[in-house]
Each structure stands twice: as C-alpha cells, then as structure tokens.
Amino acid sequence: MQASGKIVEMREKLEQAGLRVTRQRMMIANLLFGKGDRHVTAEALYAEASVIPYPPSLATIYNTLRDFADKGLVREIALFGGKVWFDTKIGPHFHFYLEDREELFDIPEELIPCFDIPAPPGTRIAGVDVVIKLERLPEGMDLRQPEGMDLRQPEGMDLRQPPKASTAA
C-alpha cells in the first residue's frame, strides 16, 4: 500500500472510531499501526517519535493512546509495577511478559488452554486477560516450572480442548 493509501486508511480508522483527526493523532497512529500488531509503552512510542520532525510530547502520546484505548483501537494492558502497555491486536489473546527485558509478547494460540468457566449469576464474562510473567534462568539452568509445583496436565487431558461432557448418569 502506498503512503497516500496508508494516510487515508489511518484517517478513516480515526473517523470511524469517532475521534477528531489531528496532525498529531495521525502521526501517532502511523507510528503505532504502521508496523503491524505490536505491544508498546508510551515511552517507547515517544522514543520512536523523537526522530521525526516536530514530534509530539510524551503527554500527547499518553493522551492519544488512552483515547485510542477508550475507542477500542488498542488494548490497554497494565502490568506488574504499574507499567502500561498498548496492544494493537485487540482481539482475545494472552501474553508472556519477560520481566528483565521489559518485553511483552503474544502467547501462540496453539498453546492456550480452553477455559470453560461460567460467570457468576447476574454477570457475563466481558473478557479474559492472562499475562504469564517470565524470568530468565541463570546460564546452564533448565527449569521448566517453579520448584514444588506440578504443572503437568492429567494423563489423557488436552488443556487446549474443552472438557468432554460426562457420560455418567
């Protein structure tokens, strides 16, 4: 897609979301959505914007990202320690968070278990957010799970599939 096509696409995206199209919103939208699905903090986007002529302020980036989140253009993900990430992939999906590198990334769909959890009476499940916090292991150590914790799935059970209905009467 050519540059003029991307500009039109971004403008339409903002208008359809009910946002006023401004030069700074367009600049931030192009930075944010121009690289496909990704996870960014306001500070990271600010660093990317600093190399373009007349970059927006960090406060403008924060406000714009919150506007985008309020309108459903991005997902806001608050993590451990108060860090807030913005995810351009807004559909349901789960994340890994690599703490020492402050890196957030998607868990592949084939690894996600099927949750069959009913909502309490009078409520509905609006969404499920799962972030698995990771830490790097010391060189040469191969530990797959916390000590003393057995995370193996029961024999014959595939956690990626919904449980089979019981045939017992």
85-96 confidence digits (pLDDT tens): 999 999 888 999
Q: How many domains does the chain have?
A: 2
CB 52 within 8 Å of CB 32: no
Asked if residue 72 is part of any domain, the answer here is yes
Closest listed residue to residue 95, CA positions, set 71, 131, 125, 124? 131
11: CB partners within 8 A, 6+ apart:
21, 26
Domain housing 120 = 92-164
Least confident of 28-37, 74-83, 151-160: 151-160
Residues 113 and 72 in one domain: no
Of 36, 57, 88, the one marking the end of a domain is 88
Q: How much is the pLDDT for 143?
A: 56
Query: String of b and e for 17-26 (b: at least 16 CB within 10 Å)?
Result: eebeeeebbe
**CA–CA dist 60, 46 (Å, integer):** 9
Q: What is the CATH number of the domain that holds 27?
A: 1.10.10.10
Q: How much is the pLDDT for 65?
A: 97
Q: Give me the half-sphere count of Cα atoms (radius 13 Å) on the Cβ side of residue 132.
A: 13
Of 88, 118, 143, the one marking the end of a domain is 88
Average pLDDT of the residues in 109-137: 84
Residues 146 and 125 in one domain: yes
Average pLDDT of the residues in 102-123: 86
Q: What confidence tier does 75 reach under pLDDT thresholds 50, 70, 90?
A: very high
Instruction: Name the residue with higher pLDDT: 162 or 142.
Output: 142
Q: What confidence tier does 50 reach under pLDDT thresholds 50, 70, 90?
A: very high
Of 67, 88, 109, the one marking the end of a domain is 88
Asked if residue 169 is part of any domain, the answer here is no
DSSP string, 55-100: PPPHHHHHHHHHHHHHTTSSEEEE-GGG-EEEES--SS--EEEEGG
